Structure 1
Amino acid sequence: MLEIALIVLALVCVALAGACFRLAGKQREYARQALLQAERDAGRDQRIKELSKRLDAYLTGSIRMGEELHELRRIVAPLPDKLTQMEQRDPSSLSFTQAARLVGLGASVDDLTQSCGLSRAEAELVSKLHQSKR
């Protein structure tokens, strides 16, 4: 009877040893999977950081462009009023009105300075203002 108990005990020990080896193998597999997951997580985190930096650069560029656009609008906004004032400054001269018509017909800045007696800056202003309306 003692021999049977020892045999049963030996079989239980062998079964427990087999279970321990199987569990140790699973534990090694889980550790390997955890290491692989940590590597994937590190790669993902690095890509997120890179994308964040690129997004910051794009946002900074957009903000600068918006500020410059705002500044340009501020500079250009009074130009039509200035042109109107220039046209009204000398009622006997219709050179600005004539220049505007010539720009509408495709005249160049040089044509405006020669035919209307405008300075180059005035001719460029009239040309730019009336070309934008076309």
Structure 2
Amino acid sequence: MESQWVFNLLLVLQFVTLVAVVVWCFRLSKRVKNLKNNQAEVELYQKKQVQVLASGSIGMGRRLVVIEKKLNLAVEKQSEILSKEGGVSYNRAMELLEMGATIDDLVSKCGLIRAEAELISLLKQESRRNSDYH
């Protein structure tokens, strides 16, 4: 009789354990399902963010192309203006510097302002330094 009681007790314990495992599996499956849903939401959010960033990058790229074209046009116009107005004076100033002219000579003979003459002199000195190194 005692062995029957122990057998019944073990049978009840197995049943309770089985029920506990089934409940635990059910909860675990719900948790996995929730995690999958959350992951799907995060992926969707990230895809939207990538799309926003990509469209923003494309827009910025287009703007940069327009700005680059405008800058190139402005540089061309500036070069034209300089060549029409003062290109000869600058070339003459470079020649005079090679012959040993001073900044005051550049101002008086080329019609440059002192700052321009100083800048040309500095550029010429830098050019000499660079040619000495190479």
Give the TM-score band, short-chain normalised: 0.5 to 0.7
Deviations 1:57-105 (CA, angstroms, capped at 9, x unpaired)? 01101111111111111101022333345547xxxxxxxxxxxxxxxxx
| Other-structure match for 2:32 | 34
Counterpart amino acid of 1:56?
A: A
The reply on whether 1:63 has 2:75 as its aligned counterpart is no
RMSD over aligned Cα atoms: 1.4
Matches within 5 A, 1:45-60: 45-60=43-58
Q: How many residues align?
A: 86
What is the TM-score with the length of structure 1 in the denominator?
Answer: 0.60
| Other-structure match for 1:97 | none
Larger % of helix: which?
Answer: 2
Matches within 5 A, 1:97-116: none
Distance in 2 of aligned mates of 1:76 and 1:61: 23
Q: Extract unaligned runs of 5+ from structure 2.
A: 87-134
| Other-structure match for 1:99 | none
Counterpart amino acid of 1:45?
A: E
Matches within 5 A, 1:1-134: 3-87=1-85
Counterpart amino acid of 1:70?
A: E
Point out 4+ residue stretches in structure 1 off by more than 3 angstroms.
84-88
Distance in 2 of aligned mates of 1:81 and 1:8: 105
| Other-structure match for 2:121 | none
Q: Extract unaligned runs of 5+ from structure 1.
A: 89-134
Distance in 1 of aligned mates of 2:43 and 2:20: 34
Q: Percent identity?
A: 10
| Other-structure match for 1:104 | none
Distance in 2 of aligned mates of 1:81 and 1:11: 101
Distance in 2 of aligned mates of 1:47 and 1:18: 43
The worse-fitting range, judged by mean Cα deviation, of 57-66 and 76-85 is: 76-85
